[in-house]
Amino acid sequence: MKFAVIVFPGSNCDVDMYHAIKDELGEEVEYVWHDADTLDSYDGILLPGGFSYGDYLRTGAIARFSRVMQEVIKAADAGKPILGVCNGFQILLEAGLLPGAMRRNESLSFICKPVELKVENNTTMFTNSYEEGQTITIPVAHGEGNYYCDQETLANLKAKKQIVFTYKQNPNGSLENIAGIINENGNVLGMMPHPERAVDALLGSADGLKLFQSIVKTWRESHVVKA
């Protein structure tokens, strides 16, 4: 499986994402600059964390208009797995690929620490290697991770099991403890915690590796050539 790590001006978690895919997962991966005009040769698209375009206006608001985002939308419509982490999640929200918006942390402070998450839905292409209800430890590092949506959107997220991860102890004021959500088609996941920083016990946790393993597992199962 071949992954693209999208690099925006101000991205700073692209190297972590690349390492997770190449060295821990053992899959093919390339950096792709934000002005790329095609993503057709990639099977999965990763939007890393950071401060794209300096987080001016709103987090992700400028990156959403980068040329590559039209290709990300195209890839999402084609059913390819799209993962946005931290700033990547914020960009997916701004691009309309996921519902809701991101606000400043309730404390108005930057938060950087390991947190415990609950796997709310383990039937997605991103979580099928976890157990439902499993507690995993993944670090967060953000100043604007306070997820918000209106009550109608929240009801839809719950009804369609689009809330994939929740915080065991809410660090940022996020509505309903939401840490990660998926789109209705199940191929676009946005989450504030950093699974790419939890892929080896030496990092304090390897709980994030199963997320990437789930993507590859699903992709391979769908690309098996039947005799």
- Mean model confidence pLDDT for the chain: 96
139-164: average pLDDT: 98
Please give the Cα distance from 181 to 95 (Å, whole number): 15
Q: Taking the CA atoms of the chain, what radius of gyration do you get in angstroms?
A: 16
Q: Looking at residue 226, what is its pLDDT?
A: 47
The pLDDT assigned to 225 comes to 52
In this structure, how many other beta carbons lie within 10 angstroms of the beta carbon of residue 106? 14
Instruction: Enumerate domains of the chain plus CATH numbers.
Output: 2-222 (3.40.50.880)
Confidence at residue 46, expressed as pLDDT on a 0 to 100 scale: 98
pLDDT per residue over 74-84, tens digit each?
Answer: 999 999 999 99
Q: Which residues are catalytic?
A: 86, 194, 196
For 152-186, write each residue's pLDDT tens digit. Answer: 999 999 999 999 999 999 999 999 999 999 999 99
Please determine, for residue 13, whether its predicted confidence score (pLDDT) is greater than 50.
yes
This prediction has a pTM of: 0.96
Q: How many CA atoms lie within 13 A of 160 on its CB side?
A: 14
User: What pLDDT band is residue 223 in, cutting at 50, 70 and 90?
Assistant: confident
Q: Does residue 173 contact residue 155 with C-beta atoms inside 8 Å?
A: no
